[in-house]
Amino acid sequence: MPTKPAGTLYRGREGMWSWVGHRITGVVIFFFLLVHVLDTSLVRVSPEAYTAVIGAYKNPLMALGETGLVAAIVFHAFNGLRIIAVDFWKKGAKYQRQMLWAVLGLWLVTMVAFSIRHLSLALGGH
Amino acid sequence: MSATIESPRSGRIAPQYRRHGGSKGNFEMIAWLFMRLSGVVLVVLIFGHLFVNLMVGEGIHAIDFGFVAGKWADPFWQFWDLAMLWLAMLHGTNGVRTIINDYAEKDSTRRWLKTVLYSATVVIIVLGTLVIFTFDPCPVVDGVPLPGGFCPA
């Protein structure tokens, strides 16, 4: 007799948490995208209006925000490729957990490289 | 001896499995496929966008009006940005549509939220497309070039 309800294979495990992470990062990226198209549209108002608003992206606090945004994008991208592999690769469902750890490993490597480069440029002497 | 289990759509099991032929056609299947196809393309487009704009040279400090003018002087970057705009907006809109369907239980709430969503999508896609193709490196107001523009000498 099972002591736990059936269904815990998915619930509360890697499959569920990667789904939660995919949703949250997706919504964050979508709202940034709306703002980003609007700020870029200022190039049609005047060169000074655009340069002033883009200047807001260049302070240290925003540099951390940009790093967070890129962290969300990189997770969503790699986990999205994992979802495609689960759907289209014959052994995708079988290896979905291992693939999540590969996603997280690649995400970490990418983010270490991105953070070093972006933060040293953004926070560096200018 | 092992029992043979018929595949669900073989028609040899009762009750026979029949797909619900709704009025929506195969829209949901197309949307599902679009998420995967656009997703792969967006990984390339957005990683390229981030690398060229943030990782190369002075990174974020190089971004100003002149940087945008330099990129959009080249049709390659115009179409790169256009593809990114359309695919990302449609991918994101379909994702948020799914989330609305999942969490908004009342029909009126869903309809209202989706109206707001689709309106925002149309405004952003039209605005972004116009900005890319009507961009002017040398904006002139009342015969006077605006400061910061790139005007032919």
Q: Which of B34, B44, B46 to mutate to test the interface with A (most CBs of A within 10 A)?
A: B46
Run of H or E including B145: strand B144-145
Cβ separation of B36 and A87 shorter than 8 Å? yes
Main-chain phi, psi angles of B26, to 5 degrees = -105, 35
- Provide DSSP, A19-51: HHHHHHHHHHHHHHHHHHHHHHHGGGT-HHHHH
Indicate yes or no: pTM above 0.90: no
On chain A, the residues whose CB falls within 8 A of the CB of B89 are 33
Ranges of each domain in chain A: 60-123
Partner residue opposite A51 with nearest CB, options B39, B43, B64 = B64
* A85 within 8 A of A99, measured Cβ to Cβ: yes
Query: pLDDT for B102-143, tens place per residue?
Result: 999 999 999 999 999 999 999 999 999 999 999 988 888 878
Residue B140 is encoded by which pair of tokens? 């002139």
Among chain A residues, the shortest Cα distance to B138 is held by A47
Using CA atoms in the order B133, B138, B144, B146, what is the torsion angle rounded to 10 degrees?
100
All structural domains of chain B = 27-138 (1.20.1300.10)
Please state whether beta strands B140-141 and B144-145 pair in parallel, antiparallel, or not at all (unpaired).
Answer: antiparallel
Cβ separation of A50 and B60 shorter than 8 Å? no
Check residues B143 and A20 and name the one with the higher pLDDT.
Answer: A20
A29 half-sphere exposure, CB direction, 13 A CA radius: 25
Among chain B residues, the shortest Cα distance to A42 is held by B131
Cβ separation of A126 and B92 shorter than 8 Å? no
- A64 in reach of chain B (CB within 8 A): no
pLDDT at B3 over 80: no
Query: pLDDT for A56-113, tens place per residue?
Result: 888 889 999 999 999 999 999 999 999 999 999 999 888 999 999 999 999 999 999 9
Cβ separation of A41 and B127 shorter than 8 Å? yes
CA angle A68/A100/A26 to nearest 5° reads 40
**What ipTM does this complex have?**
0.89
